[in-house]
Chains A and B, each alone.
Chain A
Amino acid sequence: MASADHTDHGLVTSTGVSNEKLGMWVFLGSECLLFGGLISSFLLYKNRSGTSSLHERPHDLYDLAFTSISSFVLLMSSLTMVLAVSAIQRGELRNTRVWLGVTALLGSIFISGQVYEFKEFLNAGYGFTHSPAWSAFFALTGFHGVHVSLGIVMLLSAIGLTLTGRIGRGQAESVEIVGLYWHFVDVVWVIIFTVVYLIK
């Protein structure tokens, strides 16, 4: 079990949780405030579509079927991520790399879908500065996209570290911490998908 590894290194804390892991949870708790602000801004501005001839709101142009598939892809990436954490805790490095790779691939598919969606909106004449509604939409989904992209970088780094032997069973917590970040990005999308796309 991983706790034995920590005990071997003689690490102790007053909480029984490593500082790195506790730090990630504190960071994720604070991220709730960031995304809460962006979601609130979107809710306040979503009907402020401007006064120009192009006055459609974001939810007038959504392709719900397309976004539903993207959401499903991101949701399934949480499964592959948790399987990667399980694999490294069992010391199965090859399986860990496979699951981390699949997670990064699913994340990339999600980001590609988001880029495609943004491009469609831009082609229709709706950019970041078009109106408050579109600014709020791009800020919220764009910030989330940046988080997913950072997560992909973290996943690829973790794969690289397992290849060079710097992450093994004894450092399973490093993969777990990357996983926490990835799952958080997923739960934020769970909220965005409902609040921004499904509720009209």
Chain B
Amino acid sequence: MSVDANTVTLDHGAGAHPTDKLFIKTAVLLAVVTAVEVAWSYLPWQDWGDSRALYFAEVGGLLAMMAFKFFVVASVFMHLKFDRKILTGVFYFGVVIAVVVYLAVLSTFHFFTGGGSVLPH
């Protein structure tokens, strides 16, 4: 509700309020994804070959499931999906800055090219 041009009354959410049932369903989904993640890491990837495609499938699959869990917890449990958009902006601004900065750091130290020789033992 607007008070004047620059201020609004405090509000906990911009949209519908989630129910406990949604939270329980979300927790079950997260538990299932975690189980798949662990099972994924136990698969005998090395026995299937040494190709880059297999490596990307193994690591890419784990990273995709990790990102999915991160997004689901932030959206549902942290209420970002139901709250004011400014909060989503504030949080993901930090996330994006962190990802960009540290990808740059890792690249600087040749992490992605398998080097890393600039680091001491």
Q: Which residues of A contact B (CB under 8 A)?
A: 1-3, 6-7, 11-18, 21-22, 25-26, 28-33, 35-37, 39-40, 43-45, 47-48, 50-51, 64, 68, 71-72, 75-76, 78-79, 81-83, 86, 89, 132, 173, 176, 179-180, 183-184, 186-187, 190-191, 193-195, 198-200
Contacts and interface: CB of A to CB of B under 8 A. Distances in A.
Nearest to B80: A25
List the 9 shortest-distance A-B pairs measured between CB atoms, nearest first: A29-B94, A36-B98, A6-B10, A79-B27, A194-B66, A32-B98, A16-B8, A32-B94, A40-B102
Given A36-B101, A81-B77, A190 B94 contact: no
B119 A14 contact: no
B11 A43 contact: no
Given A12-B7, A36-B102, A29 B90 contact: yes
A114 B63 CA distance: 23
B106 A83 contact: no
B77 A2 contact: no
A75 B91 contact: no
Contact-residue size bin, chain B (C-beta under 8 Å from the other chain): 35 or more
B102 A72 contact: no
A181 B8 CA distance: 25
Interface of B: 1, 3, 6-13, 17, 20, 23-24, 26-27, 30-31, 34, 37-38, 40-42, 59, 62-63, 65-66, 69-70, 73-74, 76-79, 83-84, 86-87, 90-95, 97-99, 101-102, 105-106, 109, 111, 116, 119-121
Contacts of A22: 86-87, 90
Contacts of A50: 121
Given A13-B7, A199-B62, A78 B73 contact: yes
B10 A11 contact: yes
Contacts of A21: 87
B119 to A, nearest CB: 6
Contacts of B24: 79
Given A83-B20, A180-B78, 5 more contacts: A22-B87, A33-B98, A81-B77, A187-B69, A194-B37
Contacts of B3: 12
